[in-house]
Amino acid sequence: MHEPEHLVIRPPSEARSLLVRTIRGCNWNRCNFCGIYDFFDTPFSERGLEEVLKDIDTLADRYGDIFRTAFLGDANPLHLPTEFLTAVLRHLRKTFPGLERVTSYARASSLAKKTGDELKAIRHAGLDRVHVGMESGSDAVLRLQKKGTSQAQLIEAGKKTMASGMELSYYFLLGLGGQELWEDHVKGSALVLNAVKPHFVRVRRLWIHPMSRLMEKIRTGEFSEQTPEGTVVELRDLIAGLEPSPMFFTCDHANNYIQVHGRIDEHRDDMLRLIDTFLALPEGQRQEHYRAVPSVI
Ligand code: SF4
């Protein structure tokens, strides 16, 4: 009996999605703050097309056409050749005709390597949205964290993806510049977001795994972790730096100290007011709030 492979992680917004593994682990796997695929003992490797198609058939036999959304993993299906990815998408759409949305993680470097026509072909085959870990738009922070991309590439990849007709979700990581680079982190990120105007910006707060390379840098003094209050100030400054656009901004993760959500062109001032109201609370109350919010991956 064929057993479909499982993903290591998926975005919170894909909690009810059909999950399809097209590739194992992360082909980059060098970001200092990450290590997720090492922790779950999942080295990078490619899968055969027939195997992936068989997974889809088995999932259909098992569950029927009950899903409205599907998510492709693991870390970077856009690393796959375009013909491979479009074959998977076409088969998925044919086997699960009830799907209304198919999304995937993607690295900006892989999106940048595809031509505009390739991205359009992927969109046409059925990929509606890509979730991209921008993390920061600052070159200094991207270098420090070994993200393997740059401000210019994030802009190029983002614009190309938007032009393909796919929806684009950029993830921003509060605290990634530490106490030394936080201003550049916020400024560079606002610059990228204003240039690309992705459909979604999803905010997370940096969570440092005890076994990660970043924790080692903290031990050696190469990285000073941002304070809880510092991450709230980063959030406020990032929102303040965004130009009006329909971009949907959301702190949709449990480890954010402040959860604000809304369209930048309609709700930016409300979000800023909420953050400023919090920052005006007495010190003791703010610290109590920081202690009460869980630090989770
Ligand atoms: S953050 Fe993303 S790109 Fe970086 S190592 Fe982790 S999975 Fe790979």
Amino acid at 296: V
Which residues of the chain, if any, have pLDDT below 70?
297
CB atoms within 10 A of CB 108: 28
Amino acid at 130: V
26, 109, 147: which to mutate for ligand 1, most atoms within 8 A of CB? Answer: 26
Task: Output the residue whose Cα is nearest ligand 1's atom 8.
Answer: 29
Residues 130/162, Cβ–Cβ less than 8 Å:
no
CATH class name, domain 12-292: alpha beta
Amino acid at 274: L
The CA R_g of the chain, rounded to the nearest whole Å, is 19
Query: For residues 83 and 60, what is the distance between their CA atoms, to the nearest angstrom?
Result: 22
pLDDT digits (tens, 9 = 90+) for 133-154: 999 999 999 999 999 999 999 9
Quote the DSSP letter at residue 116: H
pLDDT of 100 reads 98
Task: Output the residue whose Cα is nearest ligand 1's atom 6.
Answer: 34
Residues 235/251, Cβ–Cβ less than 8 Å:
yes
- 293 CA to centre of ligand 1 in angstroms: 25
pLDDT digits (tens, 9 = 90+) for 242-272: 999 999 999 988 899 999 999 999 999 999 9
Q: Are strands 69-73 and 18-21 parallel, antiparallel or unpaired?
A: parallel
Segment holding 279, helix H or strand E: helix 264-279
pLDDT of 295 reads 78
Query: For residues 133 and 115, what is the distance between their CA atoms, to the nearest angstrom?
Result: 20
Q: Global pTM? A: 0.95
